[in-house]
Amino acid sequence: MKVVVDYDLCESNAVCMGIAPEIFEVRDDDNLYLLQEEPDESLRPKMEEAVRRCPKQAISIEE
């Protein structure tokens, strides 16, 4: 699975970081950083929740 972030939509509100801090990080510059572009399959439930809960629907999963 591959995590895709549409940075044009992303507001860096850190909802995803709260769900999956091993994948997403909002740094002091208020930008979102993707820590793992292809996380382990064991993280799929967290990824799916992050996709669902993103307020701007800026996150997606590619197989």
Per DSSP, the residues of the chain read: -EEEE-TTT-----HHHHH-TTTEEE-TTS-EEES-SS--GGGHHHHHHHHHH-TT--EEEE-
Total-model pTM: 0.92
The phi and psi torsions of 5 (rounded to 5 degrees) equal: -115, 125
What is the Cα–Cα distance from 52 to 14, expressed in whole angstroms? 14
Number of folded domains in the chain? Answer: 1
- For the stretch 19-43, pLDDT in tens is 999 999 999 999 999 999 999 999 9
pLDDT at 42: 97
Chain centroid to CA 40: 14
Q: What is the pLDDT at residue 23?
A: 97
- Domain span at 30: 2-62
